[in-house]
Amino acid sequence: MEFQHVLLRKSRLEALRRTALMDSPAEEAFDRLSRLATRVLDAPVGLVSLVDGKRQFFKSCVGLPSPWCDLRQTPLTHSFCMHVVASGKPLVVQDARQHPVLRDNLAVDQLGVVAYLGMPLTASQGETLGTLCVIDTRPRVWTEENLYVLEELAVSVMKEIELRAVREMEARAQEAREAGAEAEAARQRFALLAELSAVLAEGFDLQAVLARAVRLVVPLVSDGCSVALLEAQGRLRRVAVAHADPREEARLRALPEPSVLLAPKQVDAHPVVGHVRISGPGGASLRLPLTSHSRVLGAVSFFLAPAHPLGEIEVSLAEDVARRMALAVENARLYEESREATLLRDKFLSIASHELRTPLTALGLQARMLSRDASHLDRPLAPEVLARKAQVITRQVERLGHLVDELLDISRIAQGHLSFPLEDVDLAELVRDVAASFREELVNPGIRLVLSGVEAPMVGRWNRLRLEQVVINLLTNAIKYGRGRPIALELKADEAHAWLTVRDEGIGIAQGDQERIFERFERAVSEQNYSGFGLGLWIVREIVHRLGGAISVNSTPGVGSTFTVELPRGSSWMTGPLLH
């Protein structure tokens, strides 16, 4: 059993495994050598046999009878070669039938082996892996020359074997290198996504954050990258661009803003919904929507040079990048919205408390004076003094009521509940009535109010109360900001429209302020000089819009202002609630 120990030696089996030849298909390089051996030694069978612990495998078998030539292996019970492997020396058998050990070998009976000459195939580390052998079915005397030739051929076979082992090792090394490169690429992708998340979470200056993010994406994900955000008006605006090639980057920056979101132009059939994939001779590009809660926030485009493939990995990485960017855009929006809401609330609270305080102070003062006077029973108040005080109190109460109404209006407008029924209203009559109610405010400071175009009726489908509010607010402003100078209130109309103009010769409004004064809480004067919420014009504009009309201002600072309201007369097309 000594040879069993050699056959099963770990280092030998390991060397055999390294050749990767066991159970491999026949190869011409080995067949040629065994054929040559049979030819030169004039033997019917030539084998390249590799022996492990259980069997001998024929890498090459020339002239072997069926079924062995098809099986290309035998168990060790049929093996002469294992003796060569065990001893590491050539085996020379003239007639196996006379051999003390080999005569019982099953190869004698079943394979018809009579004469055998086997040379060890010994690797450079000294392990014998198998044999190159020739077999004859009749007794033979093997000459020195025969031994020499077979030994030389065995060296060639061994060279072939080692060549394969080297190739196999190289292939493995290449595989390992590729796996290493793939692992490195995966590591880089992972690092990129981690860094991208960190960058996107940094601060709330969205434009700066996205500009840094696209720089990160290039060139690991793509050669170029650009992000466009959806504006309130439904247009896309490019906010960040990066490209590995500075000239390409300049070209991308100079492109017109993308007008259509995800236009299905030249779209490849691509399984991912929402993707637009364009390929051309100049490379490929992939545009993905930036979405959050199924709301489209913008789009991110990836540009690839022709040499850069757009495979599954690139697409899924691009999707990941898009998801992270969308999250950052959404967060920045939410932050901005909540910041604006907080600012608006703070502004509102400070204005409201200031505005409510003034009439309350006046009211408190009057009340205290009244109760003090009432306590002097010996000196009863004269009726006209009492009436004057009552008037002051009424005016302050009215002012408070007006403020509270404005506050109610803003919450109604903000919630979309400012709806009103339409009725036939005579605007001329309405203007005359409002002007009359202002008599007091005008007479005392001596302001002249000139009305024109108010004699003939001017009827339209409007809402009386809301239209009164428009005229009152405009007239109040003309008085407040009119420096006591004359005010002109004019009406004009044609079949379809009516125009109301309120002109003053007051402080005027700078060009840069003329648009914003119509917004909520926007004022162009200081709180110290003029009290007010900054709501009057906003309410006017909302009402006018809901009546299908428009308001504009024309003003020169120090010269005066003209506000013009245009109203369609037959607003019959506007029924039902006007806000949503």
Task: Give me the residues that bind ligand ADP (CB under 6 A), please.
Answer: 473, 477-478, 481, 504, 506-509, 517, 523-525, 532-538, 561
CB of 275 or CB of 541, closer to ligand ADP: 541
Shortest Cβ 424–ligand ADP spacing (Å): 28
Q: Which is nearer to ligand ADP, 303 or 481 (CB)?
A: 481
Give how far the C-alpha of residue 480 lies from the chain's centroid of Cα atoms, to the nearest Å: 52
Nearer to ligand ADP, 80 or 563 (CB): 563
- Whichever of 85 and 509 has its CB closer to ligand ADP, that residue is 509
What is the full DSSP assignment across 331-342?
Answer: HHHHHHHHHHHH
CB of 482 to ligand ADP, least distance (A): 6
Q: Which residues are CB-neighbours of 372 under 8 A, at least 6 positions away?
A: none
Going from the C-alpha of 393 to that of each of 271, 388, 434, the distances in angstroms are 75, 9, 22
How far apart CA 32 and CA 37 sit, in angstroms, is 9
| Cα 87 to Cα 4, 84, 91, 286, 427, distances in angstroms | 11, 5, 9, 68, 125
Residue 437 beta carbon to ligand ADP: minimum distance, rounded to whole angstroms: 18
| Nearer to ligand ADP (CB atom), residue 13 or residue 472 | 472
Shortest Cβ distance from residue 357 to ligand ADP (Å)?
15
In SS3 terms, 93-148 reads as: ECCHHHCCCHHHCHHHHHCCCCEEEEEEEECCCCCEEEEEEEEECCCCCCCHHHHH
Contact present, 498 and 427 (Cβ < 8 Å): yes
Comparing C-alpha atoms, which of 74, 73, 76 is closest to residue 84? 76
Provide the minimum distance between the beta carbon of 466 and ligand ADP in the complex, in angstroms, as a whole number.
16
Of residues 23 and 398, the one with the C-beta less far from ligand ADP? 398
Give the residue with the Cβ less far from ligand ADP, 395 or 402. Answer: 402
Task: Give the nearest distance from C-beta 447 to ligand ADP in angstroms.
Answer: 13
Closer by beta carbon to ligand ADP, 453 or else 508: 508
Tell me the C-alpha to C-alpha distance, in Å, between residue 549 and each of 97, 175, 338, 454, 568: 122, 75, 32, 20, 6
Cβ within 8 Å of residue 392, ≥6 positions away: 362, 366
- Residue (116 or 563) nearer to ligand ADP, CB: 563
To ligand ADP, the closest distance from the beta carbon of 320 in angstroms equals 49
Given the complex with ligand ADP, which of 308 and 395 has the nearer CB atom? Answer: 395
- Smallest gap from Cβ 395 to ligand ADP, in A, equals 17
* Closest distance to ligand ADP from the beta carbon of 256 (Å): 37
CA dist 342 and 348 (Å) reads 10
CB of 427 to ligand ADP, least distance (A): 20
Q: Which two tokens stand for residue 346?
A: 């703070």
CA angle 104–110–115, rounded 5-degree value: 70
What is the β-pairing status of strands 487-493 and 449-452?
A: parallel
Residue 46 or residue 536: which is nearer to ligand ADP going by CB?
536
- What's the sign of the alpha-carbon dihedral 411, 413, 418, 423? positive
| CA–CA distance, 285 with 299 (Å, rounded to integer) | 13
Nearest alpha carbon to residue 526 among 405, 402, 357, 351: 351
Distance of alpha carbon 408 from alpha carbon 413, whole angstroms: 9
Cis geometry, peptide bond prior to residue 219 (ω within 30 degrees of 0): yes
Comparison of 130 and 506: residue with beta carbon closer to ligand ADP: 506
Least separation, in Å, of the C-beta of 565 and ligand ADP?
13
Measured from the CB of residue 541, what is the shortest distance to ligand ADP in angstroms? 9
Least distance CB 244 / ligand ADP (angstroms): 52
Q: By three-state DSSP, how is residue 52 classified? A: coil
Nearest CB to ligand ADP, comparing residues 68 and 563: 563
Radius of gyration, CA atoms only, the chain: 50
> CA angle at residue 548 from 478 to 504, to 5 degrees?
15
If 0-12 CB within 10 Å is exposed, 13-18 middle and 19+ buried, where does residue 91 land? buried
Q: How far is the CB of 337 from ligand ADP (least distance, A)?
A: 24
| Minimum CB distance to ligand ADP smaller for 284 or for 537 | 537
* Edge-to-edge strand ranges of the sheet holding 128-136: 73-75, 55-62, 45-51, 128-136, 115-122, 91-93
